[in-house]
C-alpha cells in the first residue's frame, strides 16, 4: 500500500525528533527524554518504514546509531561499532531466541550472558600490545579520539600482559567495552559539585549543573579537554567484545575470547556467564535484575550473545545490529512515595505546568522530590490526588515521572485535584485553555511570574549568560520593584543593589547583597553587554525563534535595528527561517512594550550589532549547496557551516535552484536521483574541498 501524506509527514517528523534527541544524547550528553521513550520513537519510525519500504532511506536514524562527533578528532572505526536490538520483555527475548534457532536450522545454541553496562561504548586499539588509540562510538562509523582521557582510567592497561597469555598478542587488537562511573565515584562527584555550588552561590555566581546520573557524569568526564579532570573522576571500564584483529590466536567461542582478554590484563566482568538454554538465559536475567543494585555500577539490562563464533557468522548482521546478540532491557525502576501536593508553575510564555510535590524518595540512585505532571489532561488521566501514595520512576533513569496512584493506599478523604482557575501570582488573572490545545495559559502580559521567567531566560546560558544572576536573585530584584524586564538590568547600580532587603523565614529583614556579590552581579551584567547578536535575539524570547534561526537572522541583517524594521517577507527568505518565525519576529517588534524594552537595552549600552563575521572569501554568495550522506572530513553541521561561512545556503532538499550536491558515504538516494534528473553536479569530498576554496565547480 502506498504511503499516505499522513505517514510521510509522520516519518519526517519522527526523523527530525530522533535526530534532535540523538544530538542531545550523544553530542551534549544531556538527554531530554527517557531512553524508553526514545526507543519507542525509533520503534514507531521503524514500523512505518517497514510498512512502506519506499519511505526507507539510508540516512534514516533507523539505519544509523548515535550522533555526530564534535570537539575531538574524528576516528573512523575499521570495524563499525554497531548497536544492539532490544528485547523489552521475556516474550521479545523468546522471539529473538526463536529467530536465532531458525537462522541456525534448529542447531543447539549456547549463550553468553553479560550485564548491560549503562555507560559509554569505547574502542581501545592496541598495536603490538601497546595502547595507541581509544575512541568513542560516535555514530558507529566515526567516533571521537579520547585516547589521552581513556589512558587515565586505572582499569585500562596501557600495555597488554603478553607474558600472562601463552597465546601471544596480535599485531592489532581492538577491544570494545564500556567506560562507566561507579555509583561511589558518582556520589563523590555530586557531593563535590554541591559543595562547590554552595560556595559559588554564596559569592553571587551561578551554580554549575550537577550531573543527573552516573551515565551522564561518565560521558561528561570522558569528554573533558583536560585529561587531569578525567583522571580525577575515577572512571572504570569493562571489556566485552573484539573489533579489528590482525594476527594472534584464532578463537572458537566468545567465552574463550573473553578468557583470553582477561589473560591479557583487560577488565572482563566476573558476572559474565555461559549458559546452555534460553530458559537459563531467562533465569540469569531475572536474577541479575533482582541484584542490580548490589553491583556498585548501573546496568540497564542483560546482553545475551550467541557463544559459538561460527554460528555468529551464519547469523550475520542486519543493517544496524548483529542478529547473534540482543539487549534485554530491564523495566524502569519504580518506588512508592507520598504525593504531598500538586502545584503549578508559570513559564515565560504563560504556560501553566502542574507538578507533583513529593515526599523525597531515592529512585535509581538520586533523590526525587518533584516531578512534572505536564498538563491538565495528564493529571486527569493519571488521576493522582494530593495525599495519594504514588508510583515514581526515573524514565530512562533520568527524568523523574509519576506513573500513577497506588489505589489500595488511597485515603478516603483524597479528592480529585482541580486545575486552578486563576494564576498563582498576586494578580490572580483567569487561566485559559484554547480549543484543541493541551496547555493552559496565563494570558496576562503583566503577570509577575511570566515577567520573572522572561528575565531568567534572558540571563540564562543559552542567551545573554549574565553571571551572578540566578533565579533567586531575579525574584528578589523583581519583588523589590527594581526590575520588570530585561532592559531594567542595565540600569541597576551599586546603591540600588546594596539597598535591597529581603525578609527571611524568621521574619528578619536583611540585606540581599554584600559588597562582593553586588560587584559580581554588576560585572556580570556589564560583560553581557557585548554578547553576540544571536544570543541577544534568543534572550528576547521571540516565539519560535531558536538559536539556529537567530544565527541566520544575525548573519543576514547584521543588527537588531535592521531586523526590527525588516518586513516579514524579507525575513522569511533567510535560509533556515520560514513564514512562521518571520511573522512572529515582526509582530514581536510591532509591540510597543517590546520596543520600550529594546530602547532600554540600547540606553543601557547593549551591543546591537555584534556579529561574528566570517573571514572566509564569499565564494558561494547566494548559492545553494545540498549535503547528503556521511563525509570523512566534516560532520554534517561542519559542512553546512563551511558553506554558510562562504555566503552560501545549505537547504535540506534538491531543487532547480541548487548549485551543487555534495554526496558522502551512503547519500540520500532521492537527492542524488533528483540532482541527476535536473542536471545538477554531484561532488565528492575532493570536489567539495575545491568548491569551498574557489566557489567553482570542478571541471567547469
Ligand atoms: S556488545 C556488536 N556487550 O549497549 C555488539 N554491549 O544497546 C556490540 N553495552 O552499544 C555491543 N554492556 O554500548 C555489548 N556487555 C555488553 C554491553 C554492551 C553495555 C552497550 C554498548 C552497546 C549498547 C547496545
DSSP sequence for 524-585? HHHHHTT--HHHHHHHHT-TT--HHHHHHHHHHH-SHHHHHH--HHHHHTSTT--HHHHHHH
Q: What is the CA radius of gyration of the chain?
A: 28
| Residue 217 · residue 531 · CB < 8 Å | no
DSSP 677: H
Q: How far is the CA of 459 from the centre of ligand 1 (A)?
A: 40
For residue range 216-253, what is the model confidence (pLDDT) as tens digits?
Answer: 889 999 988 888 999 999 999 999 999 999 988 899 99
Mean pLDDT, to the nearest integer, of 614-634?
87
Helices assigned H by DSSP within 226-336: 227-232, 254-263, 278-290, 309-315
> Would the CB of 60 count as within 6 Å of ligand 1?
no
Q: Is 116 an active-site residue?
A: yes
* Alpha-carbon gap, residue 137 to 120, rounded angstroms: 8
With a 6 A CB cut-off, is 82 part of the ligand 1 pocket? yes
27 pLDDT above the threshold of 70? no
Cα-to-centroid distance, 84 and ligand 1 (Å): 7
Check if 117 has its Cβ closer than 6 Å to any atom of ligand 1. yes
Window from 16-20, 432-436, 458-462, 586-590 with minimum mean pLDDT:
16-20
pLDDT higher than 50, residue 65: no
Instruction: Give the chain's mean pLDDT.
Output: 89
Regarding the beta carbon of 303 and ligand 1, being less than 6 Å apart is answered yes
- Residues 428 and 431: their CA atoms lie apart, in Å, by 9
Query: What was the pLDDT predicted at 29?
Result: 60
Residue 371: beta bridge partners? Answer: 356
Is the minimum distance from the CB of 116 to ligand 1 under 6 angstroms?
A: yes
Is residue 69 pLDDT above 70, yes or no? no
42 lines ligand 1 (CB under 6 A): no
- Structure confidence at residue 578 (pLDDT): 85
User: Rounded distance, CA 402 to CA 200, Å?
Assistant: 32
- β-strands 299-306, 624-628 pairing: unpaired
Q: Which of 474, 439, 480, 482 is nearest to 457 (CA)?
A: 474
- Cα 325 to middle of ligand 1, angstroms: 9
Query: Which atom number of ligand 1 is nearest to the Cα of residue 86?
Result: 7
List the residue whose alpha carbon is closest to atom 12 of ligand 1: 116
Give the single-character DSSP code of 208. Answer: P
pLDDT at 370 over 50: yes
Ligand 1 pocket, mutate which of 240, 244, 267, 307 (most atoms under 8 A from CB) = 240
Work out the average pLDDT over 440-458.
95
- Ranking 44-48, 80-84, 460-464 by mean pLDDT, the lowest is 44-48
**3 state SS of 160:** coil
Mean per-residue pLDDT for 168-185?
93
CA 658 – CA 473 distance, rounded (Å):
51
The yes-or-no verdict on residue 136 having pLDDT over 50 is: yes
Nearest CA to ligand 1 atom 18: 116
Task: Find the 282 Cα to ligand 1 centroid distance in Å.
Answer: 18
Q: Give the pLDDT of residue 644.
A: 86
- Three cell numbers, residue 337: 512515595
Q: Is 113 near ligand 1, meaning CB less than 6 Å away?
A: no
Assess whether pLDDT exceeds 50 at residue 68.
Answer: no
Distance between Cα 303 and ligand 1 center (Å): 7
Catalytic residue among 102, 116, 193, 649: 116
Distance from the alpha carbon of residue 189 to the mean position of ligand 1, in angstroms: 25
The pLDDT score that the predictor gives to residue 396 is 43
Element containing residue 662 per DSSP (H, E): strand 658-663
pLDDT beyond 70 at 181: yes
Which of 123, 175, 327 to probe ligand 1 with, by most ligand atoms within 8 A of CB?
A: 327
Report the largest interatomic distance among the alpha carbons of the chain, rounded to a whole angstrom.
84
Average pLDDT score over residue span 320-325: 94
User: What's the average model confidence in pLDDT over 437-453?
Assistant: 92
What sign does the dihedral 231-237-241-247 (CA atoms) show?
positive
Does the structure show a pLDDT above 50 at 70?
Answer: no
> Taking 80 as the threshold, does the pLDDT of residue 456 lie above it?
yes
Alpha carbon 127 to its chain centroid, in Å, reads 34
Phi then psi for residue 425, to 5 deg, are -75, 175
Report which DSSP code applies to 141.
S
CB within 8 Å of 505: residues ≥ 6 apart = none
Q: Residue 478: what are its φ and ψ, rounded to 5°?
A: -75, -40
**pLDDT for 190:** 80
* In the predicted structure, residue 665 carries a pLDDT above the cut 70: yes
By alpha-carbon position, which residue is closest to atom 4 of ligand 1? 116
Q: How far is the CA of 258 from the centre of ligand 1 (A)?
A: 14
Q: Lowest-pLDDT range, 32-41, 119-128, 355-364, 602-611?
A: 32-41
- Give percent of the chain above pLDDT 90: 61
Backbone angles phi, psi at 490, to 5 degrees: -80, 0
**In this predicted structure, what is the pLDDT of residue 637?**
77
Q: Which atom of ligand 1 is nearest to the CA of 82?
A: 2
Alpha carbon 353 to its chain's center: 22
Cα separation of 463 and 548, whole Å?
12
User: Under 8 Å CB-to-CB from 44, ≥6 apart: which residues?
Assistant: 10, 14
Residue from 77, 80, 83, 86 whose mutation best tests the ligand 1 pocket (most atoms within 8 A of CB) = 83
Distance 35 CA to ligand 1 centre (A): 15
> CB of 300 closer than 6 A to ligand 1?
no
What number does the ligand 1 atom closest to the CA of 118 have?
A: 19
DSSP annotation of 672 reads H
Nearest-CA neighbor of 136 among 205, 221, 37?
221
Query: CB of 178 within 8 A of CB of 150?
Result: no
Q: Which residues of 92-101 are buried (b: 16+ CB within 10 A; e: fewer)?
A: ebeebbeebe
Ligand 1, atom nearest to 321 Cα? 2
Cβ partners under 8 Å of residue 526, min gap 6: none
pLDDT of res. 239: 98
Task: Report residue 562's pLDDT band, with 50, 70 and 90 as the boundaries.
Answer: very high
Q: What percent of the chain has pLDDT over 70?
A: 93
Ligand 1, pocket-test mutation among 88, 124, 215, 303, most atoms within 8 A of CB: 303
Residue 449 dihedral angles phi and psi, to the nearest 5°:
-65, -45
Q: Dump pLDDT digits (tens) for 252-294.
A: 999 999 999 999 999 999 999 999 999 999 999 999 998 987 8
Amino acid at each position: 500500500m502506498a504511503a499516505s501524506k499522513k505517514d510521510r509527514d509522520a516519518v519526517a517528523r519522527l526523523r527530525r525528533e530522533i535526530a534532535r534527541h540523538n544530538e542531545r544524547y550523544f553530542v551534549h550528553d544531556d538527554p531530554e527524554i527517557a531512553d524508553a521513550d526514545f526507543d519507542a520513537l525509533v520503534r514507531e519510525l521503524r514500523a512505518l518504514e517497514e510498512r512502506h519500504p519506499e519511505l526507507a532511506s539510508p540516512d534514516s536514524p533507523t539505519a544509523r546509531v548515535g550522533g555526530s562527533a564534535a570537539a575531538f578528532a574524528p576516528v573512523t572505526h575499521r570495524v563499525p561499532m554497531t548497536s544492539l536490538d532490544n528485547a523489552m520483555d521475556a516474550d521479545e527475548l523468546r522471539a529473538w531466541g526463536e529467530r536465532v534457532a531458525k537462522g541456525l536450522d534448529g542447531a543447539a545454541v549456547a549463550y553468553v550472558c553479560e550485564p548491560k553496562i549503562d555507560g559509554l561504548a569505547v574502542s581501545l586499539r592496541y598495536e603490538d600490545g601497546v595502547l595507541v588509540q581509544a575512541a568513542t562510538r560516535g555514530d558507529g562509523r566515526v567516533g571521537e579520539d579520547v585516547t589521552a582521557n581513556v589512558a587515565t582510567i586505572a582499569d585500562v592497561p596501557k600495555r597488554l600482559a603478553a607474558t600472562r597469555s601463552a597465546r601471544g598478542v596480535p599485531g592489532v587488537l581492538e577491544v570494545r567495552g564500556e567506560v562507566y562511573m561507579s555509583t561511589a565515584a558518582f556520589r563523590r562527584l555530586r557531593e563535590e559539585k554541591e559543595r562547590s555550588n554552595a560556595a559559588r552561590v554564596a559569592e553571587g555566581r551561578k551554580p554549575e549543573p550537577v550531573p543527573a546520573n552516573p551515565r551522564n557524569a561518565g560521558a561528561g568526564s570522558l569528554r573533558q579537554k583536560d585529561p587531569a579532570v578525567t583522571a580525577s573522576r575515577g572512571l572504570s571500564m569493562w571489556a566485552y567484545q573484539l573489533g579489528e584483529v590482525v594476527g594472534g590466536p584464532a578463537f572458537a567461542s566468545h567465552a574463550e575470547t573473553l578468557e583470553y582478554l582477561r589473560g591479557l590484563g583487560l577488565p572482563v566482568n566476573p558476572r559474565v556467564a555461559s549458559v546452555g538454554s534460553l530458559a537459563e538465559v531467562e533465569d540469569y536475567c531475572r536474577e541479575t535484575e533482582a541484584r542490580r543494585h548490589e553491583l556498585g555500577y548501573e546496568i540497564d539490562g542483560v546482553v545475551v550473545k550467541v557463544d559459538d563464533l561460527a554460528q555468529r557468522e551464519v547469523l550475520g548482521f542486519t543493517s544496524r545490529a548483529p542478529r547473534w546478540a540482543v539487549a534485554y532491557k530491564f523495566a524502569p525502576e519504580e518506588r512508592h512515595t507520598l504525593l504531598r501536593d500538586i502545584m503549578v508553575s508559570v513559564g515565560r510564555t504563560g504556560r501553566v505546568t502542574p507538578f507533583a510535590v513529593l515526599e523525597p524518595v531515592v529512585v535509581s540512585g538520586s533523590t526525587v522530590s518533584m516531578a512534572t505532571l505536564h498538563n491538565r489532561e495528564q493529571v486527569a488521566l493519571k488521576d493522582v490526588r494530593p495525599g495519594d501514595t504514588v508510583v515514581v520512576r526515573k524514565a530512562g533513569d533520568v527524568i523523574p515521572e509519576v506513573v500513577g496512584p497506588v489505589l489500595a493506599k488511597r485515603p478516603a478523604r483524597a479528592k480529585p485535584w482541580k486545575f486552578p482557575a486563576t494564576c498563582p501570582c498576586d494578580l490572580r488573572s483567569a487561566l485559559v485553555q484554547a480549543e484543541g490545545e493541551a496547555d493552559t495559559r496565563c494570558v496576562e502580559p503583566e503577570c509577575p511570574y511570566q515577567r520573572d521567567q522572561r528575565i531568567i531566560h534572558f540571563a540564562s546560558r543559552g542567551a545573554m549568560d549574565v553571571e551572578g544572576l540566578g533565579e533567586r536573585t531575579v525574584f528578589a530584584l523583581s519583588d523589590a520593584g527594581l526590575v520588570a524586564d530585561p532592559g531594567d538590568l542595565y540600569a541597576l547600580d551599586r546603591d540600588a543593589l546594596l539597598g535591597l532587603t529581603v525578609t527571611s523565614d524568621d521574619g528578619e529583614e536583611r540585606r540581599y547583597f554584600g559588597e562582593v556579590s553586588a560587584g559580581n552581579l554588576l560585572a556580570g551584567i556589564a560583560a553581557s553587554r557585548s554578547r553576540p547578536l544571536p544570543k541577544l535575539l534568543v534572550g528576547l524570547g521571540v516565539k519560535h525563534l531558536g538559536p539556529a534561526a537567530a544565527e541566520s537572522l544575525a548573519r543576514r541583517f547584521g543588527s537588531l535595528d535592521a531586523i526590527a524594521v525588516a518586513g516579514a517577507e524579507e525575513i522569511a527568505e533567510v535560509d533556515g527561517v520560514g513564514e512562521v518565525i518571520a511573522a512572529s519576529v515582526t509582530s514581536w517588534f510591532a509591540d510597543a512594550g517590546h520596543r520600550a524594552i529594546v530602547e532600554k537595552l540600547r540606553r543601557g549600552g547593549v551591543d546591537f550589532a555584534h556579529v561574528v563575521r566570517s573571514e572566509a572569501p564569499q565564494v558561494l554568495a547566494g548559492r545553494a549547496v545540498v549535503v547528503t550522506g556521511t563525509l570523512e572530513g566534516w560532520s554534517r553541521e561542519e559542512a553546512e557551516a563551511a558553506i554558510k561561512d562562504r555566503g552560501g545556503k545549505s537547504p535540506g532538499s534538491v531543487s532547480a535552484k541548487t548549485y551543487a550536491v555534495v554526496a558522502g558515504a551512503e547519500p540520500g538516494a532521492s537527492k542524488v536521483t533528483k540532482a541527476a534528473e535536473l542536471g545538477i553536479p554531484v561532488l565528492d569530498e575532493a570536489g567539495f574541498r575545491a568548491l569551498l576554496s574557489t566557489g567553482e565547480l570542478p571541471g567547469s
